[in-house]
Amino acid sequence: MITKVRRLKSIGKFYDFSEKANALDWHKNTFVFAPNAYGKTTLVNVLRSLRDNDPKLIRARKTLGAAAEPEAIIVIDSTNHVFTGTRWERQYPAIQIFDVPFIHTNIVTHEIGHEHKKNIHKIIIGVEGVKLAEELTALKTSEKAKNQEVTGFVEQFKRGGFKLLLDAFLAIPPSDEAVVDSRIQKLEQDIKSKGSETVVQGLGYLRQMTTPIFDLSAARIVASKKLTSVHEAAEKQVRAHIDRNFKDKTQAMQFIRQGIDVLQADCPLCGQDLKNATALLNAYRELFDEAFQIHQQGIAAQVEAFAKWNLDNDLTVLVSHHNANLATLNKWEPYLSAVVLPDAAAVVEKYRVRLVELKGRVQSELEKKQKDPNADADLSQFDAFTARLAEMKTAIEAYNTAVTVFTDKAKHYVANLPKSDVASIREALAKEQNIKTRFAPEWKKWAADYPVAKKGANDLLNQKNAKQKELETYSKTIFDTYQMRINKLLETLGTDFTITGLTGKTDERANESYSDFGFLILEHPVPLSARQDDVPCFRNTLSEGDKSTLAFAFFIAALEKTPELDKQIVLFDDPLSSLDETRREATARLLLALSPTVNQLNVFTHKRDFLYMLCDKMPENKVLHIRSDTKNGSRLEVFNVEEERKSDHARMIEEMERYINEDFGPTADVMQGNLRKLFETVLKTKYYRTLAVDIKSNRGFGTLLTTLFNAGLLDEALKPQLFDLCSVANGSHHGEIVDATPKKLRRDELIPLIREALNLVNKV
């Protein structure tokens, strides 16, 4: 319970207020009276700042021009709660406040918006409901955050460019890590092969080489063969003749042989008789017989054939052949692993010089044999030449074997080209590359973290749904009960409307709960809001007093459900400031009923009649009022209700009684005029119905007396005294023109008249 406002400095109009006397202690029911703008709301905001531990509420009301920082000391349950200028040393949350900010925050006087609906929801569901709602909100927030985390994982996966679906990506077995590279290489090769299938099939294959061949066996036989001795003698004689008679000896033998074929009796050249040349001709015939001719022809044929054989060209062809194979091999290299052919060019060059040289030697031996069929030919040259050709042939055969191996490999490659199209292979490759990426450190971590986040989101969803159901079950009972109580309060407060359809709802987009309801006015439903301005709704149907009354009903209903209500300090700041005057009595009765249930009831008001009404209903109270002046600012003082609520009539009588005994304040003129006022008040109050016309016509004291005596309502015995007093009290003290001459009396002259007047009042 608040027991004292000990200190208020540099806060609004409280320039420097300090309270030291116990007379200003607060009681269980404390009422604070003050005109507007004296500091009631300032004091309420100090208490709100203490409740909410919000220094801004005080600092915003720092006294204008004050150098000192704001200070406040509020004593609650004998404990000082000190505001040091920047903060409260301790908070006191058990304070409930009904004031204009509460109305505007929860039931705004113009229109109920979404924020008001959320605040109303918190009021209705109470502490337990708020706790459930906060737990639900926390779960929704956590679920949203976890879903965002899951979404982040999914977005990260999408940015990864994977062709696999997320579930398929997660289902990749760990064993794939060891084999995925080889599968990728195979598919990459398939794409490469398939993409160049047409090219590959047109590449062709390597060609085998044929070793240069010349059958030297026939030449060797011819070279080794010799004629008989007859042929040898004849040949010797012919050759001697040729040496003597022929310039061109190379053609001599042929010339002679042809001459023998056409010879008759005489020489075909000179016509001489040839008898003397018989011996020479016989030698010719013997030398050029058929065997000789055959032998010579054989030698000539071998010489001619061997001479025509362009061995060097054949060897060059081999080199060209090899180079062509190398070019084809290079074309295959992107598709097949490296293949090395023997260096046929090097082999050829290795044998070229020697073979050409040996060929020349064999050629010489044959030509020598052609000149002299019985000459001994050097057959070793033939054998050496044959041996070198055989060596080169072996090397070429090895080369051809390598060509065969490569050709088989190339043909196998072509035969095993992928049957699928490139698009299918690329799709399979993309899948395998996804699988490979799955085992990168980043994605290993992703694959471990994502299922955990997904499970967390699912768990939070289940928890949220369970909490939502729990809150809905709780709210259904609360809302039904709360609507009934509010409508009962509205009935007590004398409204012509009730609320209907009070329910709790949830904005799923914002994860926020709010309350919605409508009104029944004269049994017609009216919604909280409407899109068209010409449709009845809260904004245009309820008066400002009705709206404030609705807020008051919400506050009382919520307060009644506050846990440990007996520990709450409840404060009302001008509860009737916006309520209709006709609801004073109902409001006072509700506060009377509330008082025993709370720790302390405090009411701030600027309405005297409402204050007096509260004091009548709750006599055990303490009333303070706020006084204010320009020099000292505002301050709290004790408010004497009984003294303040006296009527002017009662005050006038007390002053007259005191005037008789004391020489104080009022002048003789004032007291002389009060005699008239005293009787006018008494007569107008007692005989209002008879004097109504005179009162409305603003008639004076004398006219009132005349009317009453004429009506027989006053004792005729009192007439002389009353008209005498009328003549004394009239004149300058009344606007009515009378016949009596004004008499200004001194104090000692007035005292007997005052005594007489007091006696007459009792008689009247």
What are 327-360's pLDDT values in tens digits?
998 888 888 777 788 998 998 998 888 989 998 9
- DSSP 3-state percent helix, strand, coil across the chain (nearest 5): 60, 10, 25
Say yes or no to pLDDT of 472 above 80: no
- What is the number of other CB atoms lying within 10 angstroms of the CB of residue 738? 15
Is residue 623 over pLDDT 90?
Answer: yes
What CATH number does domain 2-94+585-644 carry, 1.20.120, 3.40.50, 3.40.720, 3.10.450? 3.40.50
Helix (H) or strand (E) holding 10: strand 2-11
Would you call 32 helix, strand, or coil by DSSP? strand
Report pLDDT for 119. Answer: 67
Rounded-to-integer distance, Cα 538 and Cα 525, Å: 11
Q: What is the mean pLDDT of the chain?
A: 83
CA distance 229 to 238: 14
Q: How far apart are CA 489 and CA 476, in angstroms?
A: 20
Dist CA 136 CA 472 (whole Å): 11
Beta carbons of 285 and 230 less than 8 angstroms apart: no
**pLDDT for residue 195:** 65
Read off the pLDDT band of 737 (50, 70, 90).
very low
Average pLDDT over residues 73-89: 93
Distance from C-alpha of 607 to C-alpha of 615, rounded to nearest angstrom: 12
Per domain, the residue ranges of the chain are 2-94+585-644, 648-763
**Least confident piece of the model among 354-358, 481-485, 558-562, 734-738:** 734-738
Is there a contact between 208 and 404 (Cβ–Cβ < 8 Å)?
Answer: yes
Q: What is the pTM of this model?
A: 0.53
**For residues 590 and 107, what is the distance between their CA atoms, to the nearest angstrom?**
20
What pLDDT score does 218 carry? 83
The Cα 707–Cα 360 span in angstroms is 182
Q: 393 or 125, which is more confident?
A: 393
For residue 663, list its beta bridge partners.
none
Q: Give 488-547 pLDDT, tens digit per residue.
A: 998 898 888 887 877 776 666 655 676 666 777 767 777 766 555 556 666 556 677 777
Instruction: Return the SS3 of 517.
Output: strand
Average pLDDT over residues 6-15: 94
Task: Locate 740 and state its tokens.
Answer: 């009596």
